Structure 1
Amino acid sequence: MGAAQSVFQGFANPVDPSPAELRAWAHQPDAVPLHTMPPDWDLLVSGDHLISTLMELAMDRQCPARRFAVHCLYIYAADAIRTNFRAHPKRRLRKMVEHVEHDGDDLLRIWAHNVRMLLARPELFDYRDWCEGGLVRHPRRLSS
C-alpha cells in the first residue's frame, strides 16, 4: 500500500479536509460514505485548496472515488466560469484543461471539452449537470 493509499483515519475537520485526508478517503471511500458527509460536502471541497488533489484523484483510473473527483472538477470549473474567474484563477483552470487534454482518458477529455464549451457559451450551464453530477453520471460532450 503506497503513501497515496495509506489507511484512512478519518477527517480532523470534514468541512475542511487536508489533501492527505482527502486522498486517503478517496482510496477507501466506504470508510465514511458520502451520504454521511456534511451537506454539500462536494461544494465545500471543490475549491483552490484541494483542486490539485482532486485532479490527481480524477486522473487515477484505479481510484475508487474517481467519479467523485471528476464531479468536483465540474463544480470547480462552473464556479470559476460563472463568477468570471473571481472564485478561481483562469490560469489554473486553463492549465487543468490542457493537462487533461494531453494526459487524460475519455472521461476527463469530455470534462475538458465541456469546460471549453462553457467558456464559449456560459448559457450552457445547467446546475443539475455541472453541480449535481449529471455530466458524471451521464458523460456526454456538450454541443453548441
Structure 2
Amino acid sequence: MSLQESTFRGFANPVDPSPAELRAWAYQPDSVPLESMPQDWDLLVSGDQLITTLFDLALDPSCPARRFALHCLYIYAGDGIRTRFRAHSKRRLSKLLKQAEQHGDELMASWAHNCRVLMTDPERFDYHEWCEGGLVRQARRLG
C-alpha cells in the first residue's frame, strides 16, 4: 500500500512535519485543512528538510496539494535568491530547476523560468508574488 492509499492520521508535530507525514497529507489534504494549521505553515515547511518532498509533490499533476507544494517552492526559491543564497544552497536550487525543466510540465517549467529571472535580477523579488502565492494563483512567466 502506498502513502497515497493509506489513511493520513495527522501530524505528530505540525510545525515540524516529517517528509512522510507531508507526503501522506498532500494526497489527503482535506484530512487536516490548511486553515487548521499553524499560522504561516507554508513558511515553516518551505525549508531544506522538506524541499525534496515538496518538489516531488509539485511535479505530480495528480497530487491534490500540488498548488500548495508549488507555492512552497516559490517561497524556498525566493528566500534563497533574495538572501544571495545564505538561506538556501544555490547548488540545491539549481539542481531542482534543472529537474523541473527536464521532467516538469508547464507549471514547473514556469517556476524554473521565474526563478532564473529572479536569479539574474534579485531586485525583482516581490513578497506577494513569491511568498504569498501570487505567482501560483496567477500562473505566468515573468518577462
Q: TM-score, normalised by structure 1?
A: 0.97
Segments of structure 1 that go 5 or more residues without pairing to the other structure are none
- Partners of 2:88 and 2:6 lie apart in 1 by 30
- Partners of 2:7 and 2:95 lie apart in 1 by 31
Shift of 1:7: 1.4
The 5 Å alignment of 1:1-144 reads 2-143=2-143
- Partners of 1:8 and 1:83 lie apart in 2 by 35
Letter in 1 for 2:141: R
Root mean square deviation of aligned Cα? 0.9
Letter in 1 for 2:71: H
Letter in 1 for 2:18: S
Letter in 2 for 1:80: G
Segments of structure 2 that go 5 or more residues without pairing to the other structure are none
Deviation string, structure 1 residues 11-32 (Cα, Å, up to 9, x no partner): 0000000000000000000011
Shift of 1:52: 0.4
- Partners of 2:15 and 2:106 lie apart in 1 by 31
Alignment identity in percent?
Answer: 68
Deviation string, structure 1 residues 33-65 (Cα, Å, up to 9, x no partner): 111100000000000000000001001110000
The count of corresponding residues between Structure 1 and Structure 2 is 143
- Confirm or deny: 8 A CA contact 1:5 1:23 kept in the other structure: no
- Partners of 1:97 and 1:75 lie apart in 2 by 14
Structure 1, 125-134 or 2-11: larger mean CA deviation: 2-11
Shift of 1:6: 2.4
